[in-house]
Amino acid sequence: MKDILRELQSLSLKLQRREMTLVDSSVHIKQTINVLTAMKTTGGRSTKKAEQGVSSGFFKDVELTEGRGKINKPRFYESVVATLTKRLPESSLVQTLKALDKRFWPGEQEDLTLYGEQEVHRLAKSLGEPAGEAVGQFRDWKLQGTPPGKTLERLCIASRTYLPTSAECERGFSAVNNTDNQSRNRTATRRSRAKASWSILT
């Protein structure tokens, strides 16, 4: 269905952005899942237009005839949603990285007091950074508004390097291949010239 393809195309383009992080990708995938789940019962723009055409017997001035079979719309949507759900990034890692993103901090001071400290401690240990120092800097950042210290800043930078897709890696490999091919071409040209010069001399 066109509505589903439109949503999947939009999601795909978002996930391929250079600035896309793992946390952002999780947010966009969940948003698309919610949109498609809502469409399962209400339908999208194209579905509604098609249904209006079916009821009138014409769609874009073309007379409609009964087909062999109909798509089970709810089941089709459920299948797409199930596939997207499988593509969601690892939940534990996303939860850990969310602690370093202010957008997900709780609004109530009581909830914010200890929020994210276990996640920051876990991330620091996994990256070989001093965990106690990272947690202390994180606490000052969220409760006092002080700029992140050097240890916490390194964690923030590292958190943005977890890629949601292989698109950036593929772009990097393409750039390397282009550079490598250009170098090979220049080397081959120099060799050809050297052989030509040697042939003339001999």
Give the model's confidence band at 41: pLDDT under 50 very low, under 70 low, under 90 confident, else very high: confident
Beta bridge partners of residue 62, listed in sequence order: 59
Q: Would you tell me how many other CB atoms lie within 10 Å of the CB of residue 148?
A: 18
Give the model's confidence band at 48: pLDDT under 50 very low, under 70 low, under 90 confident, else very high: low
Please check the confidence at residue 74 and state whether its pLDDT lies above 80. Answer: yes
Contacts of 36 (CB under 8 A, 6+ apart): 4, 7, 77, 80, 81, 84
Which has the closest alpha carbon to 22: 81, 84, 88?
88
pTM metric for this prediction: 0.66
Please check the confidence at residue 106 and state whether its pLDDT lies above 70. Answer: yes
Greater model confidence, 181 or 39: 39
Give the N- to C-terminal CA distance of the chain in Å, as an integer.
71
- Mean residue pLDDT of the chain comes to 81
Length of the chain: 202
pLDDT of residue 188: 58
Report the Cα 131 to chain-centroid distance in Å: 28
Tens digits of per-residue pLDDT, 116-165?
999 999 999 999 999 999 999 999 999 999 999 999 999 999 999 887 76
User: Using CA atoms, how far apart are residues 14 and 4, in angstroms rounded to an integer?
Assistant: 16
